[in-house]
Amino acid sequence: MSSTIGVQNIAHTNGTNAMTVNSDAVVSLPNIPYLTARVDNNKNVSPSGTTGIVIWDTVLASRGILLNTTTGVFTVPINGLYNFNAAVRLNADYNFIYWQVRNQDDSAALQGQKLVMAHGKTGATFSTAVGSVLLPLTTSTNYAITVATNTATSVAISSSQTWLDINFVG
């Protein structure tokens, strides 16, 4: 014996759709926060773990996550778990490079030992850290992604291969 519940829309009490299921059983969640951004203008950064903020100056798409394209600081609209995927390419040869998500309100690195790190290669003209991390974030908190290397000397961020995706997962 089976039961069937026929639902097309699940609505919030304010009348907005929280979820829609079409006739092909495709679920649409229209209010899930996300952000896709990149660096378009070559900028210099001093790659220190606390102050080497990556300035994402171009928002390609966003829903709910607010990014200041001048400071690189962002906020999220709802508390929850967020997935970060990013690549940061610096135009120099480093022994190591990493990026991390920081709470700018108290200068704390959120992922602790889960740094997104790469080891350099002698003689290369650039160094890139690419990867992902899953972190709990809260509203009304200012966050930024910082980059660090084995030296804090100012260096150009490559605009061609520096990008960011943030997605709310639950």
The pLDDT tens digits of the residues spanning 125-142 come to 888 999 999 999 999 999
Host H or E run for residue 132: strand 127-137
**What pLDDT was estimated at residue 124?**
81
Distance of CA 56 to the CA centre of its chain: 10
Task: Please tell me the pTM assigned to this model.
Answer: 0.82
**Residue 76, both tokens:** 């999220």
Judged against a pLDDT cut of 70, whether residue 17 lies above it is answered with no
Q: In what order do the strands lie in the sheet with 17-21?
A: 9-11, 17-21, 27-28
Matching residue, tokens 């300035």: 55
Per-residue model confidence as pLDDT tens digits over 70-123: 999 999 999 999 999 999 999 998 888 899 999 999 877 787 666 788 877 777
Domain boundaries, given as residue ranges, for the chain: 32-168
- What fold characterizes domain 32-168? Jelly Rolls (2.60.120)
Rounded Cα–Cα distance for residues 148 and 50 (Å) = 8
